[in-house]
């Protein structure tokens, strides 16, 4: 009769069931006794290039976001624009993690995490979605076709999170004037 592994060494059935139903691999968390994600399974060379050129990419993303929305510069002072550029550098770092690891989870999760912080700073989450689009435009000449497609998937996932969370109360985007007039406080 074969011996079963102790319960502490077996992966959780709940984690495996959720992962199978979602169509994703089981969790790779060392605390669960599993190997961590392989951060070289995607495009590690492209990830290294993103990390190296993060400042230039963030500057290009801010320029592209300003072209898309002319009111961006009027909404933020110089310190605010510097913080937006720093946010773009952090988004680029997370994008490098996505390219290196071959997934979108790191950037999409980061977009979920920073929503309340950006709201407290008075940053419109739609502007961060525009920054994601700008990062994609800045990456276009630097990456190959497959790498660019993987980067666009991760950036689109983050932009969707920013747009969805931007509808939550407390975001500083422009409200509908008719609804504001009708409901006095919308």
Give me the residue spans of the domains in the chain.
44-165
Positive or negative CA dihedral for 74, 92, 134, 175? Answer: negative
65 vs 127: CA distance, rounded Å: 7
Instruction: Name 67's Cβ contacts closer than 8 Å, sequence gap at least 6.
Output: none
What is the pTM (predicted TM-score) of this model? 0.74
Positive or negative CA dihedral for 70, 92, 166, 80? Answer: negative
- Comparing CA positions, the residue from 21, 24, 53 lying closest to residue 37 is 24
CATH number of 44-165: 1.10.490
Mean pLDDT by 10 residues, the chain (186 residues): 52 43 54 74 88 92 90 88 92 93 88 88 88 90 88 92 79 68 64
């Amino acid at each position: 009769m074969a011996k079963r592994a102790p319960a502490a060494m077996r992966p959780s059935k709940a984690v495996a069931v959720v992962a199978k139903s979602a169509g994703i691999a089981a969790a790779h968390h060392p605390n669960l006794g599993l190997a961590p994600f392989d951060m070289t399974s995607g495009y590690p060379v492209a990830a290294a290039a993103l990390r190296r050129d993060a400042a230039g990419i963030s500057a290009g993303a801010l320029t592209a976001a300003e072209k898309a929305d002319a009111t961006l510069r009027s909404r933020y002072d110089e310190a605010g624009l510097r913080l937006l550029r720093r946010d773009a550098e952090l988004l680029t770092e997370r994008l490098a993690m996505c390219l290196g690891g071959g997934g979108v989870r790191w950037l999409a999760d980061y977009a979920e995490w920073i929503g309340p912080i950006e709201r407290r700073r008075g940053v419109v989450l739609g502007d961060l979605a525009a920054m994601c689009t700008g990062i994609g435009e800045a990456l276009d000449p630097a990456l190959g076709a497959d790498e660019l497609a993987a980067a666009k998937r991760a950036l689109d996932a983050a932009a969707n999170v920013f747009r969805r969370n931007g509808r939550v109360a407390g975001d500083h985007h422009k409200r509908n004037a008719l609804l504001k007039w009708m409901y006095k406080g919308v």
